[in-house]
Structure 1
Amino acid sequence: MPAANPLLDAALQAADRGWHVFPLRPNAKTPALRGSWLSHATTDPGQIRDWWSTRPYRNIGIATGRSGLLVIDIDEQVGTPTASVDASQLLAPLAAVAGDFSNLRTFAVRTPSGGAHFYYHAPSTPELGCSVGRIGPLIDSRGRGGYVVGAGSRTKLGNYRIIDSRPVAELPSTLVDLLVPPPPPLLTPNSSPGHPSAYLASIVADEARRVANPAPHTRNVTLFRAAVVLGRLIAAGELDEQQVRATLTAAATKHIGVDGFTHDELERAITNGLAYGAQRPRHISTR
């Protein structure tokens, strides 16, 4: 009789739902395979058995965009991670934004930190990527180009476990509207080349282009440096942080999955760069 392999079983269950899975490192949230995790993600049972039969302790990654999913990640803790908790309690921060619970209940996974992942069908249009805090504090999302850690996985903090097994619901229109990224700063018709707003827009556009087209093996450092440049302008009150984050995230998202580049790395590079740049504010506008 073959030995029990709960992570293999969980990966096969996810694939049976039509979700594209790939292995993560044991007790971790980072991809275990070389190259693009996005190109490896699959629903093929044979490939999945091969991955987890040879290394049964690997965690499970679910490619959200490939799977037609938009997953809302609520980091706010409700009780202790191991305590029994109803999914509706964890949905409270989202309901506060969306208005009610009536169409929010969906397949849900409790995370070891005490938050939860709520799975929704991603809309075909607009195509939604990933976001950080766009819906509200401690509420992130994973869509095109992203992934989440699947149920059954384990880290040093504890297990990812299903707390609501109902079918995946459609993403409510109120959340779709909130998740559409704001447009990057643009030149206004009244902006002359020498006008401060035109100059600022040019700086943002140049940094976004660098981030979108980095030299080989410079993806992280290019993103960090761009965040430093724009962080100095944010600290001086010249630019809006949310808009800068949205612009840099949009420019860098297409690289998610290349050479193991993850959303965690993307967010860390931006956050660290903005914080470093804030130490040296750069004033441009005439006051």
Structure 2
Amino acid sequence: MTALSTEPPGTAALLVNSRGEYLLHLRDANKPWICDPGTWSIPGGDREGTESCRQAVERELYEETGLRVPVEPLTVVDTHGPDGGQSRIQVYVGAWEGDAGALPCPEGIMFRWFDAETTAWLTMCPWTAEVIALHRRSAPVPAPRPAAKPPRVGGSRARLNVLGVHLHLQREDGRILLGLRHPDVAFAGRTWHFLAGHCETEGALACLIREAGEEAGLTIRPEDVELVHTVHMLDENENENENGDGLPRLGLVFRARTWSGTPEVREPDKCLEWAWFDPSRLPEPIVPYTRLAIDGILGGRLYSEMGW
């Protein structure tokens, strides 16, 4: 017989930043089955199945905030559920420096940062106020870590991804076609890159075939094309949207087994020349994810990530 866990059934995570502020969650006031409705509290929830408290708090934190933050045990508190029954909560503590207002909030109303003095004026969940008071007495404020990126928000916060197609042409002698981009283009001027383009109102194959004709005068049939690599990348300096935020890019690299025509510069404002290169001696400078994709293709890998 498997022994029952003696860990508390509930878990919660107290996140604090380098300014000594606490990440609080405003609970929904109109759902009577929620513990302490209408109060400011911290994210958390009950263990499920055979979960440990640590597994439960990591899952709950991700589900409620989209964050994966290292946490350590802080204390165990007693609380009362919506039915009046008593329960216990294992509380963990972790450090995070991000924008509370940008977090997804699939449960409750909002997330906000508050310093300890301000919490005295809020309608606080009683045990959360107890936890904050304990933390102030027993734990130092974490030092800021400017060199480290805060964990990237996930969960339900959707972001647009730019979809690009890339043509991988390889001759019988093994050499690969690359183009030297014009110095005045917005992305990667004077840098070697695949023949590539962004999808418009069209499928990826239609975009690839169109770009091959427009940029290099090549004719490719869809039945002669296969997907050989995908790169999912993030560069905050590229693909900025109207808010100045970098957009993620999904690059589909297709190999054409056969084609018609000889590469020629059809768009001189975008490309200076086409040339064939030994994949073991690629030219410099080359777009980093182009090199990553070529290495992946040579290594038989179908997927790579960069910048996350």
Q: The TM-score by the shorter chain falls in which range?
A: under 0.3
Greater fraction helix: 1
Greater fraction strand: 2
With normalisation by structure 2, the TM-score equals 0.21
